[in-house]
Amino acid sequence: MTEIEDGRPGSTLDDFLAEEGFLEEATEHAVKSVLAWQIGEAMKDRNLSKAAMAREMRTSRTQLDRLLDPDNGSVTLHTLHRAAAILGKRLRVDLVDGRPPGER
């Protein structure tokens, strides 16, 4: 943790996670969790069961369960694109400039 600087106490969570070596893993998990939640919510909005969604994706329920599992990071972009298209959505992936830990 950093000392108080410029009237702001402590460091950010990102700074802490980076210092501990967990920032990348935590970020990956957060992104996958949000995507899984968004897909699940869109399925509810369209009244699509898991079985119906799997049929529309031309995949198995097991594969769909992996997609909806926030702890499973092995889902491909292709699978995410297919799911989004079926739900009337599109997937957007951006590369953004990173900031070194400690910079605000």
| 13-86 is classed CATH 1.10.260 | yes
- Per residue in 52-103, pLDDT (tens digit) is 999 999 999 999 999 999 999 899 999 999 999 999 999 999 888 876 655 5
pTM, two decimals, is 0.77
Report the SS3 class of residue 2: coil
Q: How far apart are CA 32 and CA 41, in angstroms?
A: 14
* Distance (Å) of CA 92 to CA 34, 44, 50, 53, 64: 13, 21, 23, 21, 20
The count of C-alpha atoms lying within 13 angstroms of the C-alpha of 49, restricted to the half-sphere facing its C-beta, is 4
